[in-house]
Structure 1
Amino acid sequence: MTAPFHGIRQAVGGTVDSAWMSWAYRERMPAGSAFSHGTAARLRGLPVPLYLPALTLDISIPHGHRPPEGAGISGHEVASRLWQREEIVHRDFAADVMFALPIVSAALMWCQLADSLDFDDLVALGHALVTGKFVTLDQLGQAAIQWAGHRGAKKLRRAVDEVRPGPLSRPESLIRLQAMRAGLPEPRLNHTVRGLSGEDLAMTDLCWPEFRTLVEYEGDYHRSSRAKFRSDITRLERFADGEWDGLRAHADDVFRDPNPFLARLWRRLAQRGWHPQGAGPLWIPPARR
């Protein structure tokens, strides 16, 4: 047994994470409140950077009600005109339980995180929301307009212009933004590339069809899964057969120093017919993990 919050004792049946803590706290939540901010993002399975506190529960409540307080709790008050609440069903496979949790709407959650997330991560979260069909791009735009006067409102309006459907991971979104900020042309996202005879080869993470150049991001899963490792080799060989120039990116190319990778990408695009405006890419700081 453990006591995650004052007056609450629970048996630990699985990993102690946001979902488990939310389940443990749900009976103490004020009526009409909902999990919000980073907690709501994690409950939805969305990409949340490590710099956001993982084991602090964010809970919001409409204006006029007292936000919850206590150790491990961050309470927030939301204007009534912005308040949107729904439920999500979460399954804990380790503990073999299913439970419903109240959370704020996806659009409200995105707005709430504008003040906490770096700009690129706010865009990456918008990518995930649109690609995952949690919201439409129009709904994000409307939410950003309604957020006027709140912290992060200007950042939200800028972020809406950068959100695109397509990216399937946070690093893919970050590479796109880093590349464009360095002076490279905007890539297509999760685009199916074709061979010399017009046949479909495969969907790739980022590509520039006019220059037959593509980028594949390889996370730890690509290394730890034998089947994925083998299929990646086959994919790259098929791309080469179709005269596509494929680059492979990994975590260090995003989170440690993106500049060597961006310089390689710059050269490869130039070799394929792209006419850059400068002598090389602008210096880009790494993303936070």
Structure 2
Amino acid sequence: MKAFLGREAVAAGVVSRYRLQRRCPRIFPGVYLPADQTVASLRDRIGGAWLWSGRRGIIAGVAASALHGARWVDDGVMVEMLLRNGRPPNGVVARNEVVASDDELTFVGRLPVTTPARTAFDLGRHLPRGQALARLDALMRATPFDVERVAMLADRYPGARGLRQLRELLPLVDGGAASPKETWLRLLLLDAGFPTPTTQIPLHINLHLFAVLDMGWEDYRVAAEYDGDQHRTDRREYVRGERRQRKLPQLGWINIKVIAEDRPDEVIDRVYRALQSRGWRGTLNPRLHSRR
């Protein structure tokens, strides 16, 4: 962390007040970066927010998940802290929430941070449903946490907001999701009424790993995968993916490739027809899928 408190640096003679005000970028009130650094990294912003709090805040939410190793967190994400402050600066969210026990706190690089379980407890309650599951999946992938321990926190705080959503999402958390879009696709399929898919399914040819499918149903040999932008921008990746896609039917698999332009109802139809062709006789959620 390169962020520092301006008044402390001036008092220590590390930087003059003139240089501080003229050369050092300010990222939060009273918090600056060195003169030679023009862009604040996520770590800088998290550390800077903690300094702004008077070293009293506890890093929480998405920022905490990033410190625990979760991916897909932009540098400009809001820094959440457990802190009693009604007027946080832009870029900081202060949550006046109780921490009832030290078992909810840890340290990462000398910064006080909510534990993975407490981080999951907060993510599952405060974010919109789809975003919450994507963040929970990313945290589980980076630092596997005990879902039962998160449920215990829900019992510890019976009046906390968002508990209904949290309890609904906990059984759905899957660290096998390799991107937020994969989480989106899995949640779409679950909401539609399909059986819970297995994630990261390995396929072997002559004992050699040939492919790992994003998600699918091994009993029916039907898979669904989100085709990310890298397959369009990286020619080598595109060719590899096309060859892989052509080989899967020879191995007995139907693979539904989903792209950003696909409508949800189209995706559901394609998966439904594939599973039906392999013998699945389940029914879909009529509220989300009116035609078959």
Q: TM-score range by the shorter chain?
A: 0.7 to 0.9
Stretch of structure 1 that moved more, 137-146 or 167-176 = 137-146
Tell me which residue corresponds to 2:136: 126
Paired-residue identity, %? 20
Letter of the 1:126 partner, please give it.
L
The range that moved more, 104-113 or 148-157, is 104-113
- How many aligned positions are there? 264
Residue pairs, 1:18-37, within 5 angstroms: 18-37=42-61
Q: Give the equivalent residue in structure 1 for 2:264.
A: 258
2:94 to 66, 70, 75: 75
CA contact (8 A) 1:263 1:281 kept: no
8 Å contact kept, 2:50–2:56: no
Counterparts of residues 187-206 of structure 1 (less than 5 Å): 187-193=197-203, 201-206=210-215
SS of residue in 2 equivalent to 1:168: coil
Q: AA paired with 1:70?
A: P
User: Shift in Å at residue 189 of structure 1?
Assistant: 1.0
Residue 276 of structure 2 is aligned to residue 270 of structure 1: yes
Contact 2:137 2:173 in 1 (8 A): yes
Give the Cα–Cα distance (whole angstroms) in 2 for the partners of residues 70 and 118 of structure 1. Answer: 22
Please list every run of 5 or more consecutive structure 1 residues that lacks an aligned counterpart in the other structure.
90-99, 285-289
SS at match of 1:193: strand
Describe the shift of the 1:159–1:144 C-alpha distance in structure 2 as closer, same or farther (beyond 3 A).
farther
Shift of 1:234: 2.8
Deviations 1:3-22 (A, max 9, x none): 12222332463644533322
Q: In the superposition, relative to structure 1, how do residues 223 and 88 fare at CA in structure 2: closer, same or farther (>3 Å)?
A: farther
Shift, 1:32, TM fit: 4.4
Asked whether 1:225 is paired with 2:234, we answer yes
Report deviation, 1:281.
8.8
Matches of 1:269 and 1:146 in 2, distance apart?
A: 42
Match of 1:88 in 2: 108
Q: Aligned pair in 2 of structure 1 residues 277, 2: CA closer, same or farther (>3 Å)?
A: same
Give 1:190 deviation, angstroms. Answer: 0.9
Tell whether the 8 Å contact from 1:82 to 1:108 is kept in structure 2 after alignment: no
**Which of structures 1 and 2 has the larger relative contact order (alpha carbons within 8 angstroms, sep 6+)?**
1
**SS at 1:262's partner residue?**
helix
| Distance in 1, Cα, partners of 2:270 & 2:202 | 23
Code of the residue aligned with 2:47 in structure 1: it is: W
Determine the C-alpha separation between the residues in 1 that align with 2:164 and 2:51. Answer: 36
Change (3 A) 1:208 1:55: closer
In structure 2, what is the Cα distance between the partners aligned to 1:263 and 1:280?
Answer: 13
Considering only aligned residues, what root-mean-square deviation do their CA atoms show, in Å? 3.1
- Contact 1:184 / 1:281 at 8 angstroms: preserved in 2? no
- Residue 159 of structure 1 corresponds to which residue in structure 2? 169
- Matches of 1:211 and 1:26 in 2, distance apart? 51
Q: Conserved in 1, the CA contact under 8 Å of 2:25 and 2:32?
A: yes
Q: Deviations over 1:106-143 (max 9, x none)?
A: 22122223343122332333322333334123333323
Change (3 A) 1:233 1:55: closer
Residue 12 and residue 76 in structure 1: after superposition, are their counterparts in 2 closer, same or farther (change >3 A)? farther
Over alpha carbons, which structure has the higher Rg? 2
Partner Cα distance (1:212, 1:55) in 2 = 39
Q: Secondary structure at the match of 2:100?
A: helix
